[in-house]
Structure 1
Amino acid sequence: MNSMLEYKGYHASIEYDAEDNIFVGEVFGIADSLNFHGTSIDELKATFTQCIDNYLELCKKIGKSPDKEFKGSFNVRIPPALHKKAALAAANQKITLNQYVTQAIENSFNKAKNFKETIIYIPYATQHMNWESGIDNRIQTLYNDDSIFTTEEKITYVGN
């Protein structure tokens, strides 16, 4: 589910204001404050595009470069010990810390996208009924109770 609006490379998050019975939107990722609202989805979309168009027109009129949502640069605060680990790992790979962090972020998306989990249910025991004698015999099922891991798949055997 995507609850964001997008127009001309700008994105906005939407919330519902129950007190005023309106949708309120805020453009994010830029230093300037751009907000809009509407009582319906269509009105909200229209005021969002109008907000962006007005912003771009005003910037042009006053000779200001409009803020861009993602500049490719951001500050991250991490514990000093983690900073040290990352810097040493980058140095060992003969890459910059920026390259190391970029790879780590890219890998986090790849893992989430490609991860597949398969769960195979095998009961601990199955019941076998001898219909002629009326006797229940328990037959134990043998299986590997260790999980098998690969880079893209985790298989777990589960019993009852």
Structure 2
Amino acid sequence: MKNYDHYTYKVTWSSEDQEYVGLCTEFPSLSYLDENKVAALEGIEHLVKDVVADMEANGEPIPEPIAEKNYSGKFQVRVPPELHRRLAIQAAEENISLNRYVSLKLAC
């Protein structure tokens, strides 16, 4: 069984439901409501565990936990030529590469 503990979980308040909602990034269609924050987290973890077990039993592909994925550190972003020019100018004014400038901007 995939380690369901390695998935990305969060708990947030739902104004609509007036309860906490537990969520799992790798399973966006799942949620678990509870009036208790800790119970909402435990609930979504148990739900994901059950869903993963069911998927395994049926031979379905199981999402890989984001925490276990390897990332190259590279991705392409298409921007309008005017923005590309403006970013290049700002990078030159900072005396750093465009790549470094954009990376710093994304980190903010």
TM-score in terms of structure 2 length: 0.55
Measure, in 1, the Cα distance between the counterparts of 2:41 and 2:20: 10
Q: Can you give the 5+ residue segments of structure 1 that lack an aligned partner in the other structure?
A: 1-6, 83-100, 113-160
Matched, 1:10 2:7: yes
* Higher strand proportion: 1
Q: 1:47 aligned to 2:43? A: yes
More helix by share: 2
CA RMSD of aligned residues (A): 3.7
Amino acid at match of 1:35: S
Write the distance in 1 (CA, Å) between the matches of 2:27 and 2:40: 22
1:13-58 alpha-carbon deviations (Å, 9 max, x no partner)? 3221234321012211x36522212110231122022112112101
Query: Higher relative contact order by CA 8 Å / sep ≥ 6: 1 or 2?
Result: 2
* Cα distance in structure 2, aligned partners of 1:75 and 1:31: 23
Q: Does 1:25 align with 2:22?
A: yes
Deviation at 1:79, TM superposition (A): 1.3
Partner residue in 1 for 2:58: 62
Corresponding letter in the other structure for 1:51: L
| Matched length | 86
Quick one: percent identity of the two aligned structures?
15
C-alpha contact 1:16 1:23 (8 A) present in aligned 2:
yes
TM score, norm. by length of structure 1: 0.40
Report 1:7-156 matches (<5 A): 8-28=5-25, 30=26, 33-70=29-66, 71=69, 72=71, 76-79=76-79, 81=81, 82=84, 108=104
